Amino acid sequence: MTGILYGVGVGPGDPKLLTLQAVEVLQRVSVIAVPDTDGEKTAMKIVKDYIKGKEIMYCPMPMSRDLEFVASKHQESCEMLERELIAGKDIAFITLGDPTIYSTYMYIHKMMIEKGYSTKIIPGITSFCAAAAALNTSLCDRGDVLHIIPASYPDAEKQLMLDGSKVLMKSGKKLGEVKETLKRLDLYKNSQMVECCSMENEKIYRNLDQVSDDSSYFSIIIVKDK
Amino acid sequence: MTGILYGVGVGPGDPKLLTLQAVEVLQRVSVIAVPDTDGEKTAMKIVKDYIKGKEIMYCPMPMSRDLEFVASKHQESCEMLERELIAGKDIAFITLGDPTIYSTYMYIHKMMIEKGYSTKIIPGITSFCAAAAALNTSLCDRGDVLHIIPASYPDAEKQLMLDGSKVLMKSGKKLGEVKETLKRLDLYKNSQMVECCSMENEKIYRNLDQVSDDSSYFSIIIVKDK
């Protein structure tokens, strides 16, 4: 019997934000797969109490704009996973937040579906829901539209001009620029930020004045509608 | 000591999608509050294994466009909650999905903050993340923007014309109209639907042809970017 590949969302940082289903899958499988990137090793900290004694597989998943290089590494990761699945082992591939929201894991997931393997997604708490909870506020009410925007893409300014509430994902790398854009669009005073949400070093910014331009990669800005 | 009011996201339907933190809070508090609407009673089914013997409080939270009437009922709910908090009891107010995403509970939450009570939000799995998981697909990748759109508001068509992936929330009531709009915008063949996601009667529609115009209130349509 070929194994099943689970893409398991482990939430934003606090192990208590794991779902019961995630814990069940983590405890049941024999292999835990994780990207070999620095950022994603945070995922290992979240699940550490549930994976003792299990085989850990570090999959090459570089962050790079060289798409050919990235694809070849993803292919390599797939081959590692395939060997285990063919040996009948179930695998939990852990990924921060929710797998369906900007997760590089999904490239692997789709490749494995194409290769004919059984796959299943286990949802996780998104960083933006946890950030709104940390700010003790809602993201959207009644008829509001909510726009989830990757902050480091050139399109971000256009998206910020839309009606509705906005979440800027992973603002860390371009924070100076993002702050300038928010000022220009008169959205600065409606903006709050959470850095490293639900992690030990979580920081909450009720306004962006105290935010330094070299904040963590794990920074979520929430812009409420005017 | 005055009690604490927890707004607890219980996820979309499957009790296994509760977080460890939600279970911990449900087990610790002495009062469980829930809206007295039919739809929200689903929330009670999700948590039933964790609230045995606890005091249940049904709060009036009518869905109506008569905002004055709604506000007076919310005020009534607040007064019920206040009596328990003043008596030193902690309360878990359960709400489907995540409290920060279109939850009517947040009106109560904000009123209780204004009245000076201690409040805390416990994040939950959103219906749209669970729906994407059920479809075994991602919602957004790399530089995609994701727009979360309440389907029953007049603005929906304009929002569907934006670049990026879209989630139409609670499409049930206006499904015939929504289908027509998606056809007109040439988005129909990029659309999939999940009805009653993660509940016992979950139905997955890979295309909208089989969808009946009187589908459940709990219907999520996912429209992938072209």
Decide: B10 and B95 in contact? Cβ < 8 Å. Answer: yes
In this complex, is the C-beta atom of B102 within 8 Å of any C-beta atom belonging to chain A? Answer: yes
State the number of CA atoms in the 13 A half-sphere of B152 facing the CB.
14
CA–CA distance, A166 with A128 (Å, rounded to integer): 10
Give the bridge partners for B205, in sequence order: B193
> Taking CB atoms and an 8 Å cutoff, what residues of chain B touch A107?
141
What's the length of chain A? 226
In this complex, is the C-beta atom of B43 within 8 Å of any C-beta atom belonging to chain A? Answer: no
* Averaged pLDDT for residues A187-208: 94
- Residue in A75, A108, A73 with CA at minimum distance from that of residue A93: A108
pLDDT score of A152: 79
Whether A53 has a pLDDT exceeding 70, the answer reads yes
> Taking CB atoms and an 8 Å cutoff, what residues of chain B touch A143?
150, 153, 155
| SS3 category, A220 | strand
CA–CA distance, A200 with A170 (Å, rounded to integer): 18
Q: Do domains B4-122 and B127-223 have the same CATH topology?
A: no
Q: What is the DSSP string of A27-91?
A: HH-SEEEEESSTGGGHHHHHHGGG-TT-EEEEEP----S-HHHHHHHHHHHHHHHHHHHHTT--E
Chain A closest-CA separation from residue B48 CA (Å): 15
CB contact under 8 A, A19 and B24: no
Chain B closest-CA separation from residue A56 CA (Å): 24
> Taking CB atoms and an 8 Å cutoff, what residues of chain A touch B169?
none
CA–CA distance, A52 with A164 (Å, rounded to integer): 44
The ranges assigned to domains in chain A are: 4-122, 127-223
Tens of pLDDT, residue by residue, chain B (226 residues): 999 999 999 999 999 999 999 999 999 999 999 998 876 778 999 999 999 999 999 999 988 889 999 999 999 999 999 999 999 999 999 999 999 999 999 999 999 999 999 999 999 999 999 999 999 999 999 889 999 999 877 788 899 999 999 999 987 778 888 999 999 999 999 999 999 999 999 999 999 999 988 788 789 999 998 6
CB contact under 8 A, A133 and B122: yes
Range in A76-90, A163-177, A183-197 with the lowest mean pLDDT: A163-177
- Regarding predicted confidence, which is higher, A220 or A65? A220
In this complex, is the C-beta atom of A153 within 8 Å of any C-beta atom belonging to chain B? Answer: yes
Question: Which distant-in-sequence residues (6+ apart) come within 8 Å of A67 by Cβ?
Answer: none
- Regarding predicted confidence, which is higher, A223 or A39? A223
CA–CA distance, B59 with B79 (Å, rounded to integer): 10
> Taking CB atoms and an 8 Å cutoff, what residues of chain A touch B11?
19
Q: How many CB pairs under 8 A join A and B?
A: 162
CB contact under 8 A, A21 and B14: yes
> Taking CB atoms and an 8 Å cutoff, what residues of chain B touch A14?
21
Amino acid at B177: E
CATH 3.40.50.300 for domain B127-223, yes or no, is no
pLDDT score of A155: 81
Chain B closest-CA separation from residue A57 CA (Å): 23
CB contact under 8 A, B155 and A143: yes
- Residue in B51, A221, B146 with CA at minimum distance from that of residue B138: B146
* Averaged pLDDT for residues A168-196: 91
Whether A171 has a pLDDT exceeding 90, the answer reads no
State the number of CA atoms in the 13 A half-sphere of A104 facing the CB.
19
* Predicted TM-score (pTM) of this structure: 0.96
Residue of chain B whose Cα is closest to the Cα of A197:
B123
Residue of chain A whose Cα is closest to the Cα of B64:
A142
Decide: A58 and A76 in contact? Cβ < 8 Å. Answer: no
pLDDT score of B217: 78
Q: Please tell me the CATH superfamily of domain A4-122, with its number.
A: Tetrapyrrole methylase, N-terminal domain (3.40.1010.10)
CB contact under 8 A, A121 and B99: no
Stretch 53-82 of chain B: residues touching chain A, C-beta under 8 Å? none
Q: How confident is the model at residue A226 (pLDDT cuts 50, 70, 90)?
A: low
Which residue from A107, A139, A148 is facing B145, i.e. has the nearest CB?
Answer: A148
Chain B closest-CA separation from residue A127 CA (Å): 10
| Mean model confidence pLDDT for chain A | 93
In this complex, is the C-beta atom of A144 within 8 Å of any C-beta atom belonging to chain B? Answer: yes
For A118-146, write each residue's pLDDT tens digit. Answer: 999 999 999 999 999 999 999 999 889 99
Q: How confident is the model at residue A39 (pLDDT cuts 50, 70, 90)?
A: low
In this complex, is the C-beta atom of B113 within 8 Å of any C-beta atom belonging to chain A? Answer: yes
Question: Which distant-in-sequence residues (6+ apart) come within 8 Å of B158 by Cβ?
Answer: none
> Taking CB atoms and an 8 Å cutoff, what residues of chain B touch A138?
99-101, 103, 106, 109-110
Question: Which distant-in-sequence residues (6+ apart) come within 8 Å of B21 by Cβ?
Answer: A14, A16, A17, B122, B123
Q: How big is chain B by its Cα radius of gyration, in Å?
A: 19
| SS3 category, B145 | coil
Decide: A120 and A37 in contact? Cβ < 8 Å. Answer: no
- Beta carbons within 10 angstroms of residue A181's beta carbon: 18
Instruction: For the sheet with A4-9, list strands across it.
Output: A55-59, A31-35, A91-95, A4-9, A118-122
| SS3 category, B136 | coil
Provide the token pair at B146.
């994701």
Looking at this predicted complex, what is its ipTM?
0.96
CB contact under 8 A, A143 and B150: yes
